[in-house]
Structure 1
Amino acid sequence: MSSGLRPARHAWAIVMSCTTLTACSDAPSVGVLGAYFPDWLFCIAGAVLLVACVHVLLSRSRRGAWLTPPAIVYPALTVLFAIALWVVGFNL
């Protein structure tokens, strides 16, 4: 019989189970006063505040017409700022 083949199958099964479990980790969350919130929630809130600041600054300087159409530009800026905050705040 092929007794030498059996340990190789077990080793292969162990390697495959380890590679599938490597992606499992704790959820990326931030504790605030005992409650845990996902980190992307804070990034989106910060991005909305940054977009509001950009809107105010451009409106006061009379350059608000640069961002047209606003229905596309402001959500795109929100996504851009949220991803930037996530990278800077949680991945560096």
Structure 2
Amino acid sequence: MMLTGQTHSDQFGRMLRPSARHIGFCATPLLSGCAAQSAPTFSIFGAYFPDWMLCGMIGVAVAVGLRVLFLISGIDSVLSLRLFTYVSLGIIAALLVWLIAFGP
């Protein structure tokens, strides 16, 4: 039933407008990843740092080290997508450290 002055697009827009109840219901599955355990951290001089930060720093160091090694050996001049190569090598190194040190 349409009221005077309302079009079908007004009614359709009102039906699609999310309410707080709908947003809360849809956000509930996203919260299922939260656990009662603490986040994976390690202590350095009393301050807690997340493990992913250590893995990221190791990944950056590996990528820089491989760049220097590739420059010395001449492989760097052959690479066509250098940025993506070094970023992916750093990510691979970080994920391997995460898997070996903190994985299942």
User: Do the structures match in fold with TM over 0.5?
Assistant: yes
Of Structure 1 and Structure 2, the greater helix share is in: 1
% of aligned pairs identical? 29
Counterparts in 2 of 1:1-92, with a 5 A limit?
23-91=35-103
What CA distance in whole angstroms lies between the structure 1 residues aligned with 2:33 and 2:84?
39
Q: CA deviation at 1:50?
A: 0.7
**Bigger relative contact order (CA 8 A; separation at least 6):** 1
SS in 1 for 2:77: helix
Q: Report the TM-score, using the length of structure 1 for normalisation.
A: 0.69
SS in 2 for 1:64: coil
SS in 2 for 1:31: strand
Aligned length: 73
Larger Rg: 2
Give 2:45's aligned amino acid: L
What CA distance in whole angstroms lies between the structure 1 residues aligned with 2:92 and 2:33?
31
